[in-house]
């Protein structure tokens, strides 16, 4: 799979990201040399991003916690095989996505939501004011309902469609990156994205203006 | 419904951005880290077996040749073990075993007596007990049989001459033989084959009965009780019933007689 190439190319486009990748590789070398505690640096750095990716695919915080931990453990066990051909986050991301997909395939029939609270104090919470002009408890109720419906609609999508919409709309990957990640053509990605958006629009029509 | 805001337009992309804000609280990460550390330590302590290590030790390029070699070896071994020569041998062994299993019971002698016409048509099938070699183990086994079982076995193939239906069939056959000998010959050839099969089945069933009856004394008693009742129908029964019972017990096909006898763990049943 060209997953690593995709991410290395994506990250390599930005010099900051390249610098970040190099720094990560230095830490990885320390872990490979036997400094186990150095792995904590990597874990603390990437745990939230990794958690976000897994959470958006599962919509279950308990499962997400377990799967993220499993991904870190797998990465830790296999870190001696990491040779720096891609960025560490790319490699870690690949492990997490594969672990999540395997979990989702095993538990196809089980859809149990356990959602995280929306962090309103976040600087990006201007999104919330875009979504509603309500205030007080009415606003909270509305946001909670919207969150539930959104996650419900996401889980109604197939794994492939969910993955496309997560990678594109939430993680911000490009079409070509997603195409390489999912081993399909860009056209297929666009088509899946279009279908997924249409489906979500149909499901969430009530909340669109 | 949310109140409409003319200045803003909520799209599906805006809604999806909401998911970026779904994050766990800082306290969650403390617990997450503790759990992860536990798992990490467990992973460090956990010893991997050699087959778990194997895929990591071998280069990826080696997987295909190793797999192909394994399949080839398995195929060769399978062909060698389950090849055609072995099947032929098994067949020969099976037929030898069959002949051994038929011999000790000596059903063939009684069948020969019950079907004299068959004996004329296919003399090689109805061998006399002297012609059939009897293994020593079988002799010992038959000596150990309870008396009642031996009685039952001897009862199992009654003489056909006693049966009125058999007499009538024999007469009809004789008449047919005079008028159409070719038809009779062809019929008897088929009957001989089926009879041979029935002899084998009968012999196998007899062996089973012998094995079962030699074990349980209770079963022996039941068999003895049964054998006493076989030849003496209830005197209080009406004449018609007794006649029908006698006729049915004296039917020619020995295999059908054996199928009427049902042996179970604690009882013997007879089907009429």
ipTM score: 0.75
pLDDT at B250 over 50: yes
> At CA A209, angle to CA A159 and CA B24, rounded to 5?
50
pLDDT at B51 over 50: yes
Q: Write the CA distances from B124 to A136, B119, B196, integer angstroms.
A: 106, 8, 10
- pLDDT reported for residue B70: 92
Mean pLDDT of A96-123: 72
Mean pLDDT of B5-12: 63
pLDDT at B252 over 70: no
pLDDT band, very low/low/confident/very high, at A73 (cuts 50, 70, 90) = very high
Sign of the four-CA dihedral A163, A164, A166, A171: positive
pLDDT in tens, A127-178: 666 666 666 667 777 777 888 888 888 888 888 898 888 878 887 777 876 7
Residue A142 CB partners (closer than 8 Å, separation 6+): A132, A134, B2
CA distance A80 to A32: 6
- A169 vs B13, B22, B28: nearest CB: B13
- pLDDT reported for residue A27: 92
Inspect the interface and report whether the beta carbons of A209 and B5 lie closer than 8 Å. yes
pLDDT band, very low/low/confident/very high, at B219 (cuts 50, 70, 90) = low
- pLDDT reported for residue B76: 92
pLDDT band, very low/low/confident/very high, at B92 (cuts 50, 70, 90) = low
Inspect the interface and report whether the beta carbons of B12 and A170 lie closer than 8 Å. no
Q: Is A43 on the interface with B (CB under 8 A)?
A: yes
Average pLDDT, chain B: 65
CA distance A156 to A171: 20
Inspect the interface and report whether the beta carbons of A47 and B16 lie closer than 8 Å. no
Kindly write down the DSSP assignment for every residue of B122-183, as one continuous string.
-TTTS--TTTS---HHHHHHHHTS-HHHHHHHHHTS--GGG-HHHHHHHHHHHHHHHH-HHH
pLDDT at B230 over 70: no
φ, ψ at B268 (rounded to 5°):
-120, 130
Inspect the interface and report whether the beta carbons of B21 and A127 lie closer than 8 Å. yes
Q: Which two tokens stand for residue B135?
A: 């293994």
Mean pLDDT of B238-250: 69
- A130 vs B1, B10, B19: nearest CB: B10
- A131 vs B18, B20, B32: nearest CB: B18
Average pLDDT, chain A: 79
Burial of B123 (0-12, 13-18, 19+ CB in 10 A): exposed
Burial of B92 (0-12, 13-18, 19+ CB in 10 A): exposed
CA distance B239 to A123: 108
Q: Write the CA distances from B32 to A61, A62, B35, integer angstroms.
A: 12, 11, 5
| Range A29-37 contact pairs with CB under 8 angstroms and sequence separation of 24 or more | A31/A76, A31/A79, A32/A79, A32/A80, A32/A82, A36/B40, A36/B44
- pLDDT reported for residue A157: 87
pLDDT band, very low/low/confident/very high, at A190 (cuts 50, 70, 90) = very high
Which residues sit opposite B263 in a β-bridge? Answer: B268
Residues 21-80 of B with CB under 8 A from A: 21-25, 28-29, 32-33, 35-36, 39-40, 43-44, 56
pLDDT at B154 over 50: yes
pLDDT at B160 over 60: no
Q: Which two tokens stand for residue B106?
A: 């000596």
């Amino acid at each position: 799979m060209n997953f690593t190439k995709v991410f290395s190319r994506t990250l390599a486009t930005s010099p900051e990201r390249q610098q970040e990748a190099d720094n990560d590789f230095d830490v990885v070398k320390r872990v490979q040399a036997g400094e186990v505690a150095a792995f904590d640096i990597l874990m603390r750095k990437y745990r939230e991003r990794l958690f976000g990716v897994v959470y958006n695919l599962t919509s279950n915080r308990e499962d997400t916690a377990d799967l993220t931990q499993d991904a870190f453990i797998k990465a830790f066990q296999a870190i001696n095989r990491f040779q720096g051909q891609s960025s560490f986050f790319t490699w870690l991301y690949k492990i997490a996505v594969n672990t999540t997909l395997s979990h989702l395939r095993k538990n196809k029939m089980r859809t149990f939501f356990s959602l995280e609270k929306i962090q309103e104090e976040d600087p990006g919470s201007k999104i919330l004011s875009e979504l509603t002009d309500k205030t007080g408890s009415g606003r909270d109720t509305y946001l909670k309902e919207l969150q539930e419906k959104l996650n419900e609609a996401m889980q109604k999508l197939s794994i492939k469609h969910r993955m496309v919409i997560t990678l594109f709309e939430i993680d911000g990957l490009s079409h070509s990156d997603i195409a390489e990640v999912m081993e399909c053509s860009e056209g297929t990605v666009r088509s899946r994205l279009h279908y997924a958006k249409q489906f979500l629009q149909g499901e969430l029509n009530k909340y669109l203006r | 419904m949310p109140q409409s805001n003319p200045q803003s337009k909520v799209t599906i992309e805006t809604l999806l951005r909401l998911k970026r804000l779904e994050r766990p609280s800082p306290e969650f990460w403390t617990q997450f880290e503790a759990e992860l550390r536990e798992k990490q330590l467990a992973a460090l302590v956990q010893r991997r077996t050699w087959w778990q290590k194997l895929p990591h030790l071998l280069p990826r390029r080696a997987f295909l040749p190793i797999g192909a070699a394994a399949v080839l070896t398995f195929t060769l071994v399978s062909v060698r073990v389950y090849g055609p020569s072995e099947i032929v041998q098994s067949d020969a062994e099976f037929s030898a075993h069959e002949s051994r299993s038929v011999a000790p019971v000596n059903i063939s002698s009684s069948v020969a007596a019950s079907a004299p016409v068959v004996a004329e048509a296919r003399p090689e099938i109805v061998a006399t007990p002297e012609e059939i070699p009897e293994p020593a183990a079988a002799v010992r086994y038959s000596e150990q049989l309870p008396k009642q079982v031996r009685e039952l076995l001897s009862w199992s193939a009654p003489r056909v001459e006693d049966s009125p239906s058999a007499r009538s069939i024999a007469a009809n056959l004789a008449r047919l033989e005079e008028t159409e000998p070719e038809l009779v010959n062809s019929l008897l050839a088929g009957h001989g084959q089926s009879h041979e099969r029935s002899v084998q089945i009968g012999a196998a069933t007899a062996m089973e009965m012998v094995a079962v009856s030699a074990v349980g004394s209770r079963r022996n008693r039941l068999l003895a009780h049964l054998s006493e009742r076989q030849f003496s129908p209830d005197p209080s029964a009406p004449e018609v019933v007794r006649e029908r019972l006698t006729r049915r017990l004296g039917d020619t096909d020995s295999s059908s007689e054996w199928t009427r006898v049902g042996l179970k763990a604690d009882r013997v049943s007879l089907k009429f």
